[in-house]
Each structure stands twice: as C-alpha cells, then as structure tokens.
Amino acid sequence: MSERTQVAIVGAGPAGLLLGALLHRHGLESVILEARSREYIEARIRAGVLEQGTVDVLREVGVGERMDREGLVHSGIYLRFDGSSHHIPMSELTGGRSVMIYGQTEIVKDLVAHRLQTGMPLRFECHAVTVDRLSSDQPVVRYSQGGTDHELECNIIAGCDGFHGVCRGAIPADVLHVWEREYPFAWLGILADVGPSTDELIYAQHEQGFALHSMRSLKVSRLYIQVEPDDDIANWSDQRVWDQLHARLASEGWELNEGPVLEKSITPMRSFVAEPMRYGSLFLAGDAAHIVPPTGAKGLNLAVADVTMLGEGLVEYFGSGSDAGLQEYSDRCLRRVWRAQHFSWFMTTMLHTNPRDDDYGRRLQRSQLDYVCSSQAAAASLAENYVGLPLTRASATALGNG
C-alpha cells in the first residue's frame, strides 16, 4: 500500500503530535505513525512542568483549554536542605514569567483528541518502521500495520520517535556525533492519591539522597526519591518510599500527607545529545535527539521548542520555497539544547548525593546551594533557566498567528 504526504511524522509523543497540530494550522499535510497503541501513549506517566513558552504554543494551536482550566500556575519553587526551606520567587526574578503544572500525559490526550477532530491521519501500532532515501527530497517511510506493509512517500520526515526510536540510527555513523553522561543514581517516582503538602514544588537535598515533591492537581501528588541506578522496584514497598520521603523532605513544622500509591516506577538518569539534528530530509526532534536528567524539568519543554522551530521552518519551506529556517534548524535547536543540558546537569549535581563524591565535592555542593538561596543574581539565573529562555529568531507567537 502506498501513500503520499508532505511531512511524515514518526512518533506520537508530545513532539510528533504538536508538530502535526502546528502544520495543520498552516494548511500543511502530515501523517503521524506511532508504534504503540492509543491506550498506551495516553497512560504513560511523564513530567509535568511547562515553561511559559510551552504553554503559549499549546494555546496557540488550540489545545490549551483544559490546561488553562485544570493546570496550576506556579510562580516559585522551594529548595530544601539542612531541614530548612528557601523560596526562589521565580516570577519576581524573571519579570513575571511562571510555569504551569500540567501532566505530559494530559497534553498527549488533548493533542490526540485534537488530531482526531481535525481528521488528519494518526496511525497506531505501526511496526517495523524504516526511513529511507534521506539524501533526496523524496524520502520514504516503510512500516507494517495490521499485517499489511505500507510505504509513505513524503518531502520531509520528522523523527519524533524518542530515544529508542529508529530515526536517529538512520543517520550515518560518520555524520552523527554523540555526547553522553550517565549519573550514578536514578529516580523512583510515585503518583499518590492525596492532595499536595505544599503550594509549590520542593526540591530537597539530603545526605540520604535527593527528593522532590511535585503534583499533578490539588488532589494528586507526584513525588520522587533518588535511588541506585540498578535498583529494583521490588525492593521498594510503598511504606519504604514514604519513609524516605518523610526523612528527606523533613522540615520543622511541616508535614507530608500520605495517600494510596497509584503508580510507582524507576527512571534512569542520563544526559545525551546527538548532533546534527538534521540529515538530508530527516529532522530529529525531542528525545530522539537529546535526553536531560529530569531535575531541571526540561525534557518536554525542549521537545516543544524543537517542533516549534521545525514548524516555522516547514511553513516557510512549503509556503515560499525558502529553506532558510530548515538550514538553521539544527544549530538553533542545539543552542537551546546545550543550555538545557547545562542547567539540568547543574540542578542535578547541586541537589543529588553522589556516592562517588568526596568531602571537598560535598562542600562545593553546599556552597552552591547557599549561594543560590542568598544571592539575588544566583537565584535569578536559576529562575531564568527554570521558567525557560525565550525562543530566539522569530517568536513562537509569530508562528501561531501566521
């Protein structure tokens, strides 16, 4: 079976789905192919902090309604160490910018519903996906669905298929450069059916390890603790997780509310960048090209920034025939990616207990925490990165209103 479209999008995570929505807004055609089922992608629990720029783009493509109704706007975070809490007033420090707490899972549901409403193709359970003829302007995606082999011819392939996807691997090894760092720890996360014990997120540094109190709504909490990288979830009864959360988040006069655990899983932590993000007619976006440790809450936001820039480039390309935006795509994304890499590494090293660290390293870490909590300049730098730097060149707004 053979078919043609303008943009073949591999992967229906937030990057692929949002790109499809951006293109549709500008009258461009795309087909989205996803390896998993709709039920699977709508159930997997992921991050939940949206930068202002991410919120703006979601509103502009018309999927912001439920987010605006159910999301929680936060104007600061707490850093907690030595049993005391320090508030970083991010909005005050960034000229009024804030973040929105709204789960990636909910964004995926909103984007899938939007896509189905537009009637544009979104295919689930597509297997054996391969991409080919990347050096031409007539690339092709081959896949099989329901026992039938398909060929999708197109002008551009968007590789939004995540870290384990096939697209990055289609770039020749002598072209692709990879930078990587593994951390000697992982995060164990729980979703708990209990209202948050805090009004804003708490990032805690503790000698037994990092802990984070986040949330999904006023009724559901999301909490994390640092564990060993090869730790087994079977070692962690719900009560053992709560005990560690109590110990690591402890602060005079503050109490942590416990509730039934709805989900529990361990995520490894790594930093990863693949360059360039373009090879011929293949453009990588999101986790297919880069991974950050979750401490800076940047993974989803980077994916949104990538596809916003890719969308701009594609609208220009199909509209006026100019490939200027596409030519710039990789460099422009990578500048933002490396800033987020640094920020995520900075937050991770400042807040985790590294078993390989010596006393000197621990003193440096403490000095950095003290500095961020006592210097307005240091706090402003953290805040500016956390709420997200604006997109350079044309703004996301220009794309949405085009």
Catalytic residues: 74, 203, 294, 298, 386
> Is the CB of 48 or the CB of 71 nearer to ligand PHB?
48
Nearer CB in complex with ligand PHB: 41/49: 49
Q: Contact letters (x/-) for ligand PHB, 242-281, by CB under 6 A?
A: ----------------------------------------
Task: Choose which of 48, 71, 209, 325 interacts with ligand PHB (CB under 6 A).
Answer: 48
Q: Per 3-state DSSP, what percentage of the chain is helix, strand, and coil (rounded to 5)? A: 40, 25, 35
Residue 212 β-bridge partners: 203, 224
Find the binding residues for ligand PHB in span 318-337 (CB under 6 A).
none
Q: Which of 53, 76, 162, 294 binds ligand PHB (CB under 6 A)?
A: 294
Q: What is residue 277's DSSP assignment?
A: S
Q: How far is the CB of 187 from ligand PHB (least distance, A)?
A: 8
Q: Outline where 46-176 has alpha helix (H).
A: 52-60, 65-70, 90-93, 104-118
Smaller CB separation from ligand PHB, 102 or 242? 102
Q: In the numeric block, which tokens belong to residue 195?
A: 């209202």
DSSP 142-196: EEEETTEEEEEE-SEEEE---TTSSTGGGS-TTT-EEEEEEEEEEEEEEEESS--
Helix axes 359-374, 376-387, angle to 10 degrees: 90
User: Looking at 56-64, 120-128, 293-301, 391-399, which segment touches ligand PHB (CB under 6 A)?
Assistant: 293-301
Considering only the stretches 59-67, 291-299, 348-356, 376-384, report the one whose residues sit in contact with ligand PHB under the rule CB under 6 A.
291-299
**Bridge partners for 186 per DSSP:** 227, 268
- Kindly report the number of other CB atoms within 10 A of residue 273's CB atom: 19
Residue 245 · residue 254 · CB < 8 Å: no
Q: Which residues contact 112 (CB under 8 A, 6 or more apart)?
A: 12, 17, 38, 41, 42, 122
Should residue 74 be labelled a site residue for ligand PHB when binding is judged by CB under 6 A? Answer: no
- Report whether 303 contacts 104 (CB < 8 A): no
Closest CB to ligand PHB among 180 and 263?
A: 263
Residue 274 C-beta: closest distance to ligand PHB, Å: 22
- Write the CA distances from 347 to 19, 222, 381, integer angstroms: 29, 19, 12
Beta carbon of residue 299, minimum distance to ligand PHB (angstroms, whole number):
8
Give least dist CB 273 to ligand PHB, A.
19
Size of the site for ligand PHB (CB under 6 A): 10
Report whether 198 contacts 321 (CB < 8 A): no
With CB under 6 A as the contact rule, the residue among 7, 10, 32, 49 that binds ligand PHB is 49
| DSSP secondary structure string for all residues of 190-227 | EEESS--SSSS-EEE--TT--EEEEESSSS-EEEEEEE
Q: How far is the CB of 347 from ligand PHB (least distance, A)?
A: 7
Beta carbon of residue 110, minimum distance to ligand PHB (angstroms, whole number): 17
- The minimum distance between CB 45 and ligand PHB, in angstroms, equals 8
Selection from 244, 268, 260 nearest residue 183 by Cα: 268
Residue nearest to ligand PHB (CB): 214
Q: Which of 12, 28, 47, 256 binds ligand PHB (CB under 6 A)?
A: 47
**Contact with ligand PHB (CB under 6 A): which of 222, 290, 332, 352?**
222
Binding segment for ligand PHB (CB under 6 A), chosen from 24-32, 146-154, 292-300, 319-327, is 292-300
Residue numbers at the binding site for ligand PHB (CB under 6 A)? 47-49, 201, 212, 214, 222, 294-295, 297
